[in-house]
Amino acid sequence: MKRRATPPPEMITKVNVTPIIDVALVLVIILIVTAPLLSAADLPVNLPEARTREAEDQRNVSVTLGSDGALAVDDRLVTFAELGSAIAARLTDEGTDVLVVVRADSNAPYAQVRAVLDEARGAGAKRLAIATRQKVEKRP
């Protein structure tokens, strides 16, 4: 009996890119999910309560007003004098139809909130909203 000569197995010379693509797609998904969370400033803000929260899911420019009067546009701290130009710069980057969301602390004086809204309107914002926390309804 003659045995057939089997050819030696071929060496794998190509890189398997499937695991690399899987890891890259997972990283892209993580970035897409966490990117909206990074646009708000890290000022401690106690938002007032309301029944609806429709505007926070859209692409927007976030203006944060702390109870001590500290201001931030997205994640950048600004003074009140710089507020109008900072909002105008963000609106030119994103377009004028972007929603400007004012995240004001519930203990901030209303006069300051109104001044921030006026500055945003003066900077060219056409759509304004005030951020709130979801009000928890108590069941009887």
Structural domains of the chain sorted by starting position, each given as residue range(s) with its CATH number in brackets: 40-134 (3.30.420.270)
Strand partners, 134: 50
Is this model's pTM higher than 0.85 or not? Answer: no
Whether 61 and 101 have beta carbons less than 8 Å apart is answered as: yes
Predicted confidence at residue 54, as pLDDT, reads 54
Q: What is the pLDDT of residues 32-88, one digit of tens each?
A: 888 776 666 666 777 666 555 554 445 688 888 888 888 888 888 888 888 888 888
Strand partners, 133: 49
Q: What is the pLDDT of residues 103-139, one digit of tens each?
A: 888 888 888 889 988 998 888 888 888 887 766 666 5
Distance CA 96, CA 16 (A): 46
pLDDT confidence bin for 90, thresholds 50/70/90: confident
